[in-house]
């Protein structure tokens, strides 16, 4: 049985449009997750270690103020288009669209005020919560009125995130959740003792602005071969890597499959990622720099968390040989990701 509760988390500042931010608490025997109506943010996720002790394994803030200031998308649903669009430009039906540039020369995670920075309308479910919003035609430069539903449901150790969308005009769409995980517990210094595996035979090489070059490269014989678990710290050292911020190409099937696994041997906490999406961005918190004070006043230094963002491939709207990212009127965008928490 999943217990579902709601409470007030805070009040949005007037300059952000005001409005009450609610927190939804979903609780099973093995997992407790807290989700905000601001940006559908996963603000806390507690899961058991092999000693039976709970720890909060996602980075974030204790108060609303932390989330209304600039932060690296902690726990949020990002959109309309997650990841990067080269030069913030794309063409649909012969018309060129220009987006806000918020990541060097590129547009990242929906632009200046993406889905992570707005209030969503919640509806309670027996085992979770469904958030809805209408992204109006022209919001952040994107075409079409886009209706979006994001549903979180908890069953035992499994948190499902279901994304649905419908549009009035052809528009690119790519939704993901940007939770930062540390299975040792948020506030732990680094993730070097985590073991990571990703079921991908190919990855996307990127240019110096993190835009895919267009090549779909084999992982075989490279530092991107994570098909067998690697201990992260040793792996980064062995290949002289600063970290990962890359899309791994998954099997192109619209069925649920296991695509990644993270494990923290000292505590026994493990997380599996299952999805219907064609890609997963593996990011090792390279841009965290200790400047943000998170929950319990801890700081978050470089490599103190990882993200496994299930999504379409970055800049797919400008790369015809990448999986289609355009949603047409009359069609429905429909994807699910399942995070399964276990002890190893």
Q: List C-alpha distances in Å: 107 to 41, 147, 172, 237.
A: 21, 21, 13, 31
84 is in an annotated binding site: yes
Choose, from 178, 235, 264, 274, the residue flagged as catalytic: 178
Instruction: Check residue 181 and report its DSSP letter.
Output: B
Give the torsion sign (CA, 62, 64, 70, 72).
Answer: positive
Q: How far apart are CA 187 and CA 58, in angstroms?
A: 9
Q: How far apart are CA 39 and CA 117, in angstroms?
A: 5
**178 among known catalytic residues:** yes
ω before 130 within 30° of 0 (cis)?
no
Q: How far apart are CA 101 and CA 16, in angstroms?
A: 20
Residue in the structure block whose two tokens are 């803030």: 61
Task: Find the farthest-apart pair of alpha carbons in the chain and give their distance in angstroms, rounded.
Answer: 59
**71 among known catalytic residues:** no
Q: How far apart are CA 154 and CA 128, in angstroms?
A: 6
pLDDT truncated to tens, each residue of the chain (344 aa)? Answer: 999 999 999 999 988 889 999 999 999 999 999 999 999 999 999 999 999 999 999 999 999 999 999 999 999 999 999 999 999 999 999 999 999 999 999 999 999 999 999 999 999 999 999 999 999 999 999 999 999 999 999 999 999 999 999 999 999 999 999 999 999 999 999 999 999 999 999 999 999 999 999 999 999 999 999 999 999 999 999 999 999 999 999 998 889 999 999 999 999 999 999 999 999 999 999 999 999 999 999 999 999 999 999 999 999 999 999 999 999 999 999 999 999 999 98
245 is in an annotated binding site: yes
Q: What is the DSSP string of 185-217?
A: -TT-S-STT-EEEE--SEE--B-TTS-B-S--E
201 is in an annotated binding site: no
Structure token pair of residue 190:
């680094």
CB 283 within 8 A of CB 309: yes
Q: Using H for helix, E for strand and C for coil, what is the string for 33-58?
A: EEEECECCCEEEEEEECCCCCEEECE
Domains of the chain, first to last: 3-343 (2.70.98.10)
Give the predicted TM-score (pTM) of the model: 0.97
Closest CA to 139 of 121, 113, 164: 113
């Amino acid at each position: 049985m999943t217990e579902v509760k709601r409470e007030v988390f805070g009040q949005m500042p007037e300059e952000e449009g005001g409005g009450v931010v609610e927190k939804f608490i979903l609780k099973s025997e093995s997992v407790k997750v807290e989700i905000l109506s601001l940006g559908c943010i996963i603000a806390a996720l507690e899961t058991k270690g092999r000693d039976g002790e709970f720890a909060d394994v996602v980075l974030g803030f204790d108060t609303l103020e932390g989330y209304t200031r600039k932060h690296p998308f902690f726990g949020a649903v990002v959109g309309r288009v997650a990841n990067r669009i080269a030069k913030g430009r794309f063409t649909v039906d012969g018309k060129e669209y220009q987006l806000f540039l918020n990541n060097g020369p590129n547009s990242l995670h929906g632009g200046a005020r993406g889905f992570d920075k707005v209030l969503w309308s919640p509806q309670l479910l027996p085992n979770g919560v469904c958030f809805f919003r209408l992204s109006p035609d022209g919001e952040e430069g994107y075409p079409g009125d886009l209706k979006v539903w994001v549903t979180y449901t908890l069953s035992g150790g499994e948190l499902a995130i279901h994304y649905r969308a419908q549009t009035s005009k052809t528009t690119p769409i790519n939704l993901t959740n940007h939770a930062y995980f540390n299975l040792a517990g948020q506030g732990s210094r680094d993730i070097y003792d985590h073991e990571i595996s990703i079921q991908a035979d190919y990855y996307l090489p990127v240019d110096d602005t993190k835009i895919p070059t267009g090549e779909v490269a084999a992982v075989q014989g490279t530092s991107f071969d994570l098909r067998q678990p690697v201990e992260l710290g040793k792996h980064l050292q062995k290949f002289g890597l600063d970290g990962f911020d890359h899309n791994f190409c998954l099997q192109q099937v619209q069925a649920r499959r296991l695509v990644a696994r993270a494990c923290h041997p000292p505590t026994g906490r493990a997380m599996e990622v299952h999805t219907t999406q064609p890609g997963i961005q593996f990011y090792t918190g390279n841009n965290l720099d200790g400047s943000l004070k998170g929950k319990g006043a801890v700081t978050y230094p470089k490599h103190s968390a990882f993200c496994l963002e299930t999504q379409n491939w970055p800049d797919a709207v400008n790369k015809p040989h990448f999986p289609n990212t355009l949603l047409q009127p009359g069609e429905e965008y429909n994807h699910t990701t399942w995070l399964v928490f276990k002890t190893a």
